[in-house]
Amino acid sequence: MKSSQPLEESRRVAYLNALGIALWTQKAQLQESEAVAPPEESIARQPARLQEAAAQEPQPAVDEPSLPVIDYEIIKNMDLSALAGQVASCTACDLHKTRKQTVFGVGHHKADWLIIGEAPGADEDRQGEPFVGRAGQLLTQMLRAIGLAREEVFIANILKCRPPNNRDPRAEEVSACQAYLGRQIELLEPKIILALGRIAAQSLLQTSTPIGKMRGRLYHLENYNIPVVVTYHPAYLLRSPREKRKVWEDLKFARQQAIDTV
Ligand code: URA
């Protein structure tokens, strides 16, 4: 575990400036083995890709995010427990009407690893904890495989509330929720972020690049200079167990980044 240090003001300002549609910016480096691959078109493009990504997903048509995003000014001084309280009473999007409870995230407050999934499912909605269903059990095993106990990482989701019938998150829900994850990242200052699945990866990195092309690359959340590694969602692995080998490669890659991050 690392010691926590206050964020530089410039990073905080950069973060605030980036709020609104473009909360995060990213750049990517290639893993050595992929260094000959052509650069991704998406990497050079600017944020505001979230709506684009969402527009490609099978979901009811949504013109523009119409809900107010959470005002970062309100949460910028909150610690994790105050933030969890704020999330628990959130009504910023319609998901509050159907949730049983919010799912803030769980884990060590000085974790080196931040694992980010998509959104709570039925089990998580019932228990108030991320990744507690079958996919969560597989995630716990995946972490164990690289020597990490669930308790020593922090696990959170892009959305803090369950979308009904496990449908994909909508762009306006991601927008409404993103300051919470931003503040979590700011407080945790992890050495590595592992994004699980297409929706987590595309939302976090504001790209529409297919997940298969995002794997094996090192991204950074520039405002925080935190490395991000993308891998498949454990729910996908339950359906396609042959892909576990690739996830194992991704986990080893992420572990190396965490070691390299000072
Ligand atoms: N899938 C996710 O993406 N997150 C959870 O918390 C559970 C399942």
Q: Name the residue ranges covered by the structural domains of the chain.
A: 68-260
Cα dist. 162→22, 58, 101, 105, 193 in Å? 23, 18, 9, 13, 22
Nearest CA to ligand 1 atom 7: 131
For residues 7 and 24, give the distance between their C-alpha atoms in angstroms, rounded to a whole number: 16
At residue 176 the predicted structure's pLDDT band, cuts being 50, 70 and 90, is: very high
What is the edge-to-edge ordering of all strands in the sheet holding 192-196?
Answer: 26-30, 217-221, 226-231, 192-196, 113-117, 154-157, 106-107
Looking at residue 159, its pLDDT comes to 98
* Residue range 101-141, pLDDT digits in tens: 999 999 999 999 999 999 999 999 999 999 999 999 999 99
User: Across all residues in the chain, what is the average pLDDT?
Assistant: 81
How far is Cα 57 from Cα 199, in angstroms, rounded to an integer? 10
Confirm or reject: Cβ of 135 under 6 Å from ligand 1: yes
Top mutation candidate among 101, 103, 124, 230 for ligand 1, by most atoms within 8 Å of CB: 124
Q: pLDDT tens digits for 47-105?
A: 333 333 333 434 434 344 444 566 778 899 999 999 999 999 999 999 999 999 999 99
Per-residue confidence (pLDDT) for residue 192, from 0 to 100 = 98
What average pLDDT does the segment 152-172 reach? 97
Paired with 196 in beta bridges are 231
| 225 has pLDDT over 60 | yes
| Distance separating alpha carbons of residues 134 and 136, to the nearest angstrom | 5
Least confident piece of the model among 26-30, 151-155, 169-173, 193-197 = 26-30
How many angstroms is it from 135 CA to the middle of ligand 1?
A: 7
Give the side-chain half-sphere CA count within 13 A for 201.
25
Q: For a pocket test of ligand 1, which of 157, 211, 237 has the largest count of ligand atoms closer than 8 A to its C-beta? A: 157
Instruction: Specify whether the CB–CB gap between 171 and 54 falls below 8 A.
Output: yes
Asked if 107 and 148 touch (Cβ cutoff 8 Å), the reply is no
- Its pTM stands at 0.78
Structure tokens at 85: 């309280």
Does ligand 1 come within 6 angstroms of the Cβ of 124?
yes
Residue 18 has pLDDT above 60, yes or no: no
The gap between the terminal CA atoms of the chain, to the nearest Å, is 12
CATH 3.40.50.300 for domain 68-260, yes or no, is: no
- Give mean pLDDT, residues 142-152: 97
- φ/ψ of 16, rounded to 5, equals -60, -45
